[in-house]
Chains A and B, each alone.
Chain A
Amino acid sequence: MLKAIVKVTLKEKILDPQGKAIEHSLHNLGFLSLGGVRTGKNIEISIDENDLSTVEELIKSACAKLLANQVTEDYEYQIFDDAGSTLSRFTSRHGVGSVSGHAG
């Protein structure tokens, strides 16, 4: 059993009004050095598969089909084993299909 954490965020060029509202509130509270606030969604998934490349394909396909709207959103994911070690990570941010790096 592997576990994935998927993070979905608006693409950088798209205004994130929620992030802006949070940023304004932070500034009002005196956190003047904090900026560039962006929000997103965190989706945790358990996968009943043990083969890492199969799991990567499944998660990528789930992101492309449902979890992210690729017109407006980027996604990234990390895959973990039972012990919580990262087996793989990926981001769509620099063009869908580019693997940013493997760890563990």
Chain B
Amino acid sequence: MAHKVGVVVFPGSNCDRDAFNAFGTVLNQRVEYLWHKDTSLDGADIIVLPGGFSYGDYLRSGAIARFSPIMNEVIRFAEQGGLVMGICNGFQILVESGLLPGALLRNSSLKFMCRQVYLRTETSATPFTSGLQVGDVLKVPIAHGDGNYYADESTLNRLQDNDQIVFRYSTSDGEITPESNPNGSIMNIAGIVNAKKNVLGMMPHPERASEKILGSASGLMVLKSVIENLN
């Protein structure tokens, strides 16, 4: 049975269609766009906050989108255990909303980074990575200027102790090196989940690595895992 995937569209979202394609066309799910001013999730089984530049990244990336009317519903849905996935700008919105800890700072290079990166899977004990194994390496694109993950020491300890670090930037062999870190993220962190593990935020774009013709299909396993866990 197809599940209903709600893709939230903010003014300035630009990966909403990539999410639609990956979940709808590639994985045959029912996808619905949810306008940021909506106040209902319309019965969606999973919520995707897509990449882009909501509100032009004014003030801070995600800071204004976080107060869009639909976010009250997204926060309620997440608190009730619903699966929420924030990709790139979606990750920025999730940290601004407090659903995920830490913050995303300007890339340490000050450059907008737009290229393929490799991610090492750090845990398979989440609904987003249950189809992967620890150490699996994904080839997935990034496209961001503010992807430098920061958290204070006590938060980092909590993330590690509770197995909340999901992906780290690595070499193609899965080695975590300073050179493979594209943005200065602390501990090469590319994606994390909340303590309950039903909310994922990641800067790289698995939905844009969902078909061979796009250069890589290895991001698809993340989306497939989500769907499997809804079954």
Contacts and interface: CB of A to CB of B under 8 A. Distances in A.
Contacts of A17: 106-110, 184
Q: Chain B interface secondary structure, helix, strand, loop or mixed?
A: loop
Contacts, number: 33
Contact of A67 (B59, B102, B103): B59
Given A18-B110, A67-B59, A72 B105 contact: yes
A15 B185 CA distance: 12
A14 B110 contact: no
A10 B67 CA distance: 22
Given A14-B105, A14-B150, A69 B110 contact: no
Q: Which of A10, A15, A67, A69 has the most CB of B within 10 A?
A: A69
Interface in A2-52: 10, 14-15, 17-18, 21, 41
B106 A72 contact: no
Interface string B141-178: 00000000011100000000000000000000000000
B150 A18 contact: no
Interface in A57-75: 66-67, 69, 71-72
Sort chain A's interface into a size bin. 10 to 19
Interface residues of B, number: 19
Nearest to A70: B103
Q: Which of B60, B64, B110, B151 has the most CB of A within 10 A?
A: B60
Contacts of B63: 66, 69
B65 to A, nearest CB: 12
26 contacts: A14-B105, A14-B150, A15-B108, A15-B184, A17-B106, A17-B107, A17-B108, A17-B109, A17-B110, A17-B184, A18-B106, A18-B110, A41-B59, A66-B59, A66-B64, A67-B59, A69-B60, A69-B63, A69-B96, A71-B102, A71-B103, A71-B151, A71-B152, A72-B103, A72-B105, A72-B150
Given A15-B108, A18-B110, A21-B110, 19 more contacts: A10-B105, A17-B106, A17-B107, A17-B109, A17-B184, A18-B106, A41-B59, A66-B59, A66-B63, A66-B64, A66-B67, A67-B59, A69-B60, A69-B63, A69-B96, A71-B103, A72-B103, A72-B105, A72-B150
Interface of A: 10, 14-15, 17-18, 21, 41, 66-67, 69, 71-72
